[in-house]
């Protein structure tokens, strides 16, 4: 585990957040604080609500009940126009990179700079070069996304996520689709950006190797609620069978019974 630089000053707070889609309850009274300078890793089964939580933080979704705060400002009820300066403080690394295929690498990274700053062209070019250097992609400005490997796309997407110097980076499955060495490159970058930029991070992942390397803190969501909140060391010795199954990569007894045709009498 990397050494925490958190000062326990919450950058984001979610208070009693509820969300359902139709009859399906996804979030059932979520409470979460993201401390400044800390890397929080969120784990849980597919469909458990991890990405829904990220969308509430950036206000792509609004809770049915509950509140979301950025520092001391409530944001879940803000008008869209008032969200713009707050969203400038967030960087988002999407699961599948989400680069614009019709733009070069440089233009992809420049896009948020143009949208959210008043830098001139030479300043934009200098920033693009700086961010590419931070992710080990110097000299790739004129490449097209189609010319990049999966790992290179992730790194360019990460350069774009830090282009406007965010306070918070949200990572949605950052190592999905990558082989172990490329996955570890992304993990190293997450550690590096925390150390060099002092950013607060929340990472959604199923990759336990990533969890062990990058996390200051782990939270696990299960059936709409957090059932674990602790350190990487604590998650390995928890006596909660639901958490242990996930960490150890084992399916539940119910699934085993279904797969092997066993039924309780």
Q: What is the DSSP string of 147-187?
A: GS-HHHHHHHHHHHHTTT--SEEEEESTTTT--HHHHHHHH
CATH at residue 53: 3.40.50.300
Question: Is residue 263 in a domain?
Answer: no
**Contact present, 219 and 40 (Cβ < 8 Å):** yes
- Show the domain range for 157: 10-232
pLDDT at 3: 41
In a domain, 239, yes or no: no
Task: Provide the terminal-to-terminal Cα distance of the chain, rounded to the nearest Å.
Answer: 45
Residue 264 placed within a domain = no
Task: Tell me the HSE value of 44 on the side-chain side, using a 13 A CA sphere.
Answer: 26
- How many structural domains does the chain have? 1
Is there a domain that residue 170 lies in? yes
Is residue 256 in a domain? no
DSSP 8-class letter at 4: P
Q: 248 lies in a domain?
A: no
According to the model, what pLDDT value does residue 5 have? Answer: 43
Neighbours of 130 (CB within 10 A): 14
Q: Is residue 140 in a domain? A: yes
Q: Which pLDDT score is estimated for 1? A: 40
Q: What is the pLDDT of residues 208-246, one digit of tens each?
A: 889 999 999 999 999 999 999 999 999 989 999 999 999
For the chain, 265 residues long, give each residue's pLDDT as a single digit of tens.
434 444 467 999 999 999 999 999 999 999 999 999 999 999 999 889 999 999 999 999 999 999 999 999 999 999 999 998 999 999 998 877 789 999 999 999 999 999 888 899 999 999 999 999 999 999 999 999 999 999 999 999 999 999 999 999 999 999 888 899 989 999 999 999 999 999 999 999 988 889 999 999 999 999 999 999 999 999 989 999 999 999 988 876 666 667 777 554 4
Residue 167, domain member (yes or no) = yes
Whole-angstrom Cα Rg for the chain: 19
pTM of the model: 0.87
Q: By the 8 A CB rule, do 113 and 163 touch? A: yes
């Amino acid at each position: 585990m990397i050494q925490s630089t958190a000062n326990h000053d919450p950058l984001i707070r979610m208070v009693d957040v509820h969300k359902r889609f139709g009859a399906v309850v996804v979030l059932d009274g979520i409470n979460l604080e993201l401390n400044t300078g800390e890397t929080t890793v969120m784990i849980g089964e597919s469909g458990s609500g991890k990405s829904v939580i990220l969308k509430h933080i950036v206000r792509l979704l609004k809770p049915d009940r509950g509140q979301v705060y950025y520092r001391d400002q409530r944001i879940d009820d803000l008008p869209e126009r008032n969200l713009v300066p707050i969203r400038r403080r967030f960087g988002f690394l999407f699961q599948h990179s989400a680069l614009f295929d019709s733009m070069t690498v440089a233009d992809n990274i420049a896009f948020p700079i143009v949208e959210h700053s008043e830098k001139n062209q030479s300043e934009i070019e200098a920033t693009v070069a700086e961010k590419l250097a931070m992710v080990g992609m110097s000299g790739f400005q004129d490449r097209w996304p189609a010319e990049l490997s999966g790992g290179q796309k992730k790194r360019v997407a990460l350069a774009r996520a830090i282009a406007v110097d965010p306070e918070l980076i949200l990572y949605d499955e950052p190592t999905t689709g990558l082989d172990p060495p490329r996955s570890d490159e992304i993990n190293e970058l997450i550690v590096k950006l925390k150390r060099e930029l002092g950013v607060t991070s929340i990472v959604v992942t199923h990759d336990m190797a990533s969890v062990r390397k990058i996390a200051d803190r782990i939270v696990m969501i299960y059936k709409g609620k957090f059932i674990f909140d602790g350190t990487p060391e604590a998650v390995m010795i928890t006596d909660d069978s639901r958490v242990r199954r996930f960490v150890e990569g084992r399916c539940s007894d119910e699934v085993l019974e279904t797969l092997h045709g066993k039924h309780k009498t």
